Structure 1
């Protein structure tokens, strides 16, 4: 008799990871690949981070830490909010996590009960939707587009035919790179507080913006949960280190969940995280490189036929409407990878209903790779 497999494992795949696997298989068989599918900086962790972890590795036993994180790291994160945003928060409200993925798991489990309804934008980061479904919550997709800068509004929330228990918003967003204005973020926080909706602010692309800094929801709401990560701006994807800023009354419940689910975030990575905040000048040079890549692609992609682009205010993504080129973005991306070696992500990863005619370009790689990819796409689609 075959034993059952839990239904939570039947959630949709994170398609970008499938694309990356196909790209890696092509490389393993001798083919070349220009990676524009995955949101991963091509730069290494900052030099001071490498030195701090080497020192810790030789001097420390690298055992478990407190479930909430090394006190020095929690204090350094709190100081960062004062230095970067001009906002004062208590270090006791900071929770160090196993990447932002661990933070989302902890935030969902601590904020919602089975069956609760949680709003998220479409397009949006697919893991929100998939984690919510796996945990027994009901994701409520909110279609957004250029008319609202690919972000939700209080009016949209008012028009829903369900009552939300939570709302997840990313600014800058993935896949669009769009950002909320300061006033719009404040309005969403006020709406959620006034309607008993737990606001979860995904701020993992803060620091990677063009034209203005992103605002943090902690400035506008004491009830919001903030999620950030060392993966993107700090260029530490494989270190699996993130953090949350949470309401004071959620600290102990989250600590208990973290103790049982994770024990603690990776200890060696936490030592590196402390040093990362001393590397902002080096990290801002990475952002300047992303800005050059962004400018190149915004100029060159329209020449290849990708001329319907979402605003790319931050992060390192460009989201393109390709309805005039294909009605099957997944097959289109596979064909482009097979015939040009350029790896791209289909929009169905981010929007189940409309993503079949959208694609995402990541420009986190080197300038030379962006140049080559743009040239191949122009030649292929001309």
Structure 2
């Protein structure tokens, strides 16, 4: 049967690593998961308890832009956390951040247009762009620039995607850096998309939303990370006033609406901050373990992990094939890690990403295994 070229995208390597780890577990092996960016905790219990009452109702379609109560609560979140006065009419509830990216790229760009993304970055940006007939422009970032795009990178682009905290590096953009990028995009007529799905997971400083420095931006967030709701597949997007109806038409036709039950759970989760902030204590403890233990194991060079729950380590002293190195670590040490090729097809062959989103006991055991593996190598 014939097929389109839209499916000719690279695999999401971390999912392949997860499958290899699952197969090893099915064979009876003990595997420590440091590959996947998934919180070791589930949705907040208080929110799950509140959802039980909602399930007695027939949860039919919601309107395409999402539950009005959830959109209003998200707008209040921006006032509470960032001091931003946000009109709820600008909030679009989406089928996870992935659904938001599809909507954003559809609303902003025509076939063949160039959209910039700084390497290393979340791999699905470029794969979704390619599947939609767009041209991802890979921007080489530097350690001096904290692995983030710079204002000079904007020229000639229809759009620019930035993420703070970033995946896989964990680096963050401060207010001045975001302002400079927003101003450069405005001068160049470049659409700015700010991926903020790791907001709320930081260590020592608050993440800055792009809405603090400009209204001419698409901001994308998710309930998957801070709110610990990965499998519920619900997120949100904030768009300029004059883009709301355009996005609404696309959302109605592409998705009808996000899951009603997921939206209800998200609404309850927004009032579960004490429980969610307790999760941050786990991430902070895990981060401290890895910052101390990875150099002892031999992984001494990595990006500064300001936020999220990843450490992106340079392993060029040991290999020029990170994918094979990750497979060796899984086979011999029983630790699943993600090769950098997922995030950077140019230089990712010499990097690994370690996720510390799991239980602290598992992270400690993973470090013990990694140290023994490196010592025996």
| TM-score with structure 1 setting the length | 0.97
Counting matched residue pairs gives 375
What SS does the aligned partner of 1:27 have?
helix
Q: 1:169 aligns with which of 145, 162, 171?
A: 162
CA RMSD, Structure 1 to Structure 2 (Å)? 0.8
Q: Does 1:379 align with 2:372?
A: yes
Q: Does 1:340 align with 2:333?
A: yes
Deviations 1:45-98 (A, max 9, x none): 10121012211112x101110010000000000000000100001000000000
Rounded to whole Å, the distance in 1 between the matches of 2:243 and 2:211 is 14
Report the equivalent of 1:265.
Answer: 258
* Cα pair 2:154 2:185 within 8 Å, conserved: no
Report the equivalent of 2:146.
Answer: 149
- 1:136 Cα deviation from its structure 2 partner: 0.5
Q: 1:296 aligns with which of 266, 286, 289?
A: 289
Deviations 1:220-273 (A, max 9, x none): 111100000000000000000000000111111111111111110000011111
* Cα pair 2:154 2:190 within 8 Å, conserved: no
Report the equivalent of 2:64.
Answer: 67
| Equivalence map 1:1-382=2 (5 Å) | 3-58=1-56, 60-158=57-155, 163-382=156-375
Rounded to whole Å, the distance in 1 between the matches of 2:305 and 2:316 is 19
Rounded to whole Å, the distance in 1 between the matches of 2:212 and 2:173 is 14
| Over 6 Å off, 4+ runs | none
What SS does the aligned partner of 1:146 have?
coil
| TM-score with structure 2 setting the length | 0.98
Rounded to whole Å, the distance in 1 between the matches of 2:355 and 2:298 is 17
- Point out where structure 1 has 5 or more consecutive residues left out of the alignment: none
Rounded to whole Å, the distance in 2 between the matches of 1:101 and 1:238 is 12
Rounded to whole Å, the distance in 2 between the matches of 1:351 and 1:366 is 28
What SS does the aligned partner of 1:136 have?
coil
Q: Between 168-177 and 331-340, report the one with greater CA deviation.
A: 331-340
* Cα pair 1:210 1:291 within 8 Å, conserved: yes
- Point out where structure 2 has 5 or more consecutive residues left out of the alignment: none
* Cα pair 2:196 2:219 within 8 Å, conserved: yes
* Cα pair 1:67 1:264 within 8 Å, conserved: yes
- 1:195 Cα deviation from its structure 2 partner: 1.2
- 1:145 Cα deviation from its structure 2 partner: 2.1
* Cα pair 1:53 1:269 within 8 Å, conserved: no
Rounded to whole Å, the distance in 2 between the matches of 1:260 and 1:31 is 45
